[in-house]
Chain A
């Protein structure tokens, strides 16, 4: 626990001193709000009620931005933080001091989860979710944030420097971030992406929007947490394989 606290403190100080990282957590909810606002109000020359009907048939802007945030924004952020620690050999010194892979992951990931929680709450708020739905959507977002945090950590540990880390993480981030957006427009894509955690954010949002019908919530959450478990296992394997376990 002492080690987790030490890494959390270090990461917290490092993150708040880094505006480039902080902006990632604000820009996506801001974009979601702006896009949602523009879709309803800015169909030029179309009466408001028709525009609202058209908007209702368009992909959900908040869900779209939320999946892009959970998939695309977070992975490179975490990858960059950890690849930096690997490149500077900081992880080596931490390991020698007795910091285990899990302590390191929980410490670094804890800060990302905390910032991700603030963004998730913002998404739930912007999405107009209320009461129980608010917390269900926030919990779904947090599951996605957790999966992306650990996935980003894997890419960070796998590489030897920040440059190659971003080259490795970006393709995965794009698929995970934009895949669910395409799934909103194409059922086949939705079917193929069903086992992926970011697609389950779509599923949860749809379930809430339809008034609790569709794929049951427990199934969506089970898929997301199965993703988290598999990714955590992969992290432990990669960390060990890289010889960072001391």
Chain B
């Protein structure tokens, strides 16, 4: 069952063409990765799918209402002077969720002990986990995670990977963007490689690696990307 789809979508900001004829679809219950370097257009795709910006042309479909979506963006949107728990209570009240669920989610992300700490006093990793907790509080149908592990230490990143897998096991569709090829290889069921606003390859990460003869001791999606794009700075 299709969860989200884009067909021939293009988007420009002024003279800057950010997306060119982008076409893909995600299936319900999969971890779908959108890969590419900074400025490739990954965040714009999330913004279009979550109706924060509109496409110039093409068709977009998302099989969920805005309340059925969980969001983790670069800007965390937390209320800095409120405690970690109070930040989640805002959304608990909005969604009408029992406190038990909030506690369960905070324990799941390992923040229950730090529940009284204001969000501005949390470390970067803890804040990322709090943002993830907010995104999954209402058991969303689709989760959009924009660079969920950027600037995190490997241990915290692994913890978040496990949470993402647990969410998939619970039936959610995960749509994540990353420029970390290794993360995508290990985590995603399917990926799209995006370069200068254009899709240059898509499929199962391990199959893509095999297709491009890039299987070393581990599947090496990064060298596929470098090979496909020429590897220079753009």
* Interface positions of A (Cβ within 8 A of B): 2-3, 5-7, 9-10, 13-14, 17-18, 85, 88-90, 92-99, 243, 246
CA distance A185 to B199 in the complex (A): 70
CA distance A163 to B38 in the complex (A): 28
Tell me which residues across on chain A come within 8 A of B50, comparing CB atoms.
Answer: 96
Whether A96 contacts B93 by the Cβ 8 Å rule is no
- Name B114-143 residues within 8 Å CB distance of A: 134, 138
Tell me which residues across on chain A come within 8 A of B96, comparing CB atoms.
Answer: 2
- In addition to A6-B91, A246-B66, 12 A-B residue pairs with Cβ atoms within 8 Å of each other are A2-B94, A6-B93, A9-B89, A10-B90, A13-B86, A14-B79, A17-B82, A89-B73, A97-B94, A97-B138, A98-B94, A246-B51
- Name B59-93 residues within 8 Å CB distance of A: 66-67, 69, 71, 73, 75-82, 86, 89-91, 93
Whether B67 contacts A93 by the Cβ 8 Å rule is no
Task: State the Cβ distance, A107 to closest chain B Cβ, in Å.
Answer: 10
Whether A14 contacts B82 by the Cβ 8 Å rule is yes
Count how many pairs of residues, one from A and one from B, have CB atoms less than 8 Å apart in the complex: 69
Tell me which residues across on chain A come within 8 A of B82, comparing CB atoms.
Answer: 10, 13-14, 17
Q: B138 — nearest CB in chain A belongs to which residue?
A: A97
Return the 9 tightest CB-CB contacts between A and B, nearest first: A6-B93, A89-B75, A93-B77, A90-B77, A89-B77, A10-B90, A6-B94, A98-B67, A97-B94
Tell me which residues across on chain B come within 8 A of A13, comparing CB atoms.
Answer: 82, 86
Main secondary structure of the interface of B (DSSP, over half): loop
Residue B24 CB within 8 A of the other chain: no
Whether A88 contacts B90 by the Cβ 8 Å rule is no
Whether B91 contacts A97 by the Cβ 8 Å rule is yes
Whether A88 contacts B80 by the Cβ 8 Å rule is yes
CA distance A90 to B134 in the complex (A): 12
Proximity string of chain B (36-51) to chain A, C-beta cutoff 8 Å, 1 when within and 0 when not? 0000000000000011
Task: State the Cβ distance, A106 to closest chain B Cβ, in Å.
Answer: 14
Whether A92 contacts B77 by the Cβ 8 Å rule is yes
Whether A96 contacts B86 by the Cβ 8 Å rule is no
Whether A14 contacts B81 by the Cβ 8 Å rule is yes
Whether B94 contacts A96 by the Cβ 8 Å rule is no
Task: State the Cβ distance, A144 to closest chain B Cβ, in Å.
Answer: 28
Q: A18 — nearest CB in chain B belongs to which residue?
A: B81
Contact of A97 among B73, B76, B80, B95 (CB under 8 A): B95
Whether B79 contacts A10 by the Cβ 8 Å rule is yes
Residue B234 CB within 8 A of the other chain: no
Tell me which residues across on chain B come within 8 A of A14, comparing CB atoms.
Answer: 79, 81-82
Proximity string of chain B (137-162) to chain A, C-beta cutoff 8 Å, 1 when within and 0 when not? 01000000000000000000000000
Tell me which residues across on chain B come within 8 A of A92, comparing CB atoms.
Answer: 52, 73, 75, 77
Task: State the Cβ distance, B59 to closest chain A Cβ, in Å.
Answer: 20
* 12 residue pairs bridging A and B, Cβ less than 8 Å apart: A10-B82, A14-B81, A17-B82, A92-B52, A92-B73, A94-B94, A95-B66, A96-B50, A96-B71, A97-B91, A97-B138, A98-B66
